[in-house]
Amino acid sequence: MDGCIFCKIAKGEIPSSKVYEDDFVLAFLDLNPASLGHALVIPKKHAATLLDLEPGSGEALLQAMRKIGKALRKVVKADGFNCLQNNFSAAGQEVMHLHWHVIPRHEGDQVIKTWAPGKYENMEQMAALAGQLKAEI
């Protein structure tokens, strides 16, 4: 897609620090890492959000994240890693090209803070919402 920075990176028009590439996926280090080794994993074919990803494309992305996570645990001695993905600006998506952040984590770090758990008013509210979602799906 014209003007998409991640499409330009995938085409080699903009340099990146690639860590993995195959026919469908590109992974490169984030310029503003949350922690050392923070990588971005993108489909080479443009998809703005997860809703735009072609069916059947997810396996290649998941396998790339597995490989990168395994490498991060060894190379930067990460105790774990997060795979984060945002859809639409309201959810924090800044680049409108589907991408996952693979962020190395170390015990006790403060890289990502968890959300405060909420509660349903009651089990009936939860069941009603589940029913609405099931019907929509």
How confident is the model over 18-65, as pLDDT tens digits? 999 999 999 999 999 999 999 999 999 999 999 999 999 999 999 999
User: Domain spanning 5-136: which CATH class is it, in words?
Assistant: alpha beta
Question: 58: which 2 tokens?
Answer: 């997810």
Q: Domain boundaries in the chain?
A: 5-136
Task: Give the per-residue pLDDT at 1.
Answer: 75
Average pLDDT taken over every residue of the chain: 96
Q: How far apart are CA 72 and CA 103, in angstroms?
A: 9
Q: Which of these is catalytic: 46, 99, 101, 106?
A: 99
Q: How far apart are CA 33 and CA 39, in angstroms?
A: 8
* CB proximity list for 54: less than 8 A, separation 6 or greater: 45, 47
Q: How far apart are CA 53 and CA 69, in angstroms?
A: 22
Give the distance, in angstroms, between the CA of residue 106 and the centroid of all CA atoms in the same chain: 19
At 86-115, the pLDDT tens digits run 999 999 999 999 999 999 999 999 998 888
Task: Give the per-residue pLDDT at 2.
Answer: 80
> Taking the model in full, what pTM does it have?
0.93
How distant, in Å, are the alpha carbons of 6, 43, 88, 113, 133 from that of 47? 10, 7, 12, 28, 24
Is 106 a known active-site residue?
no
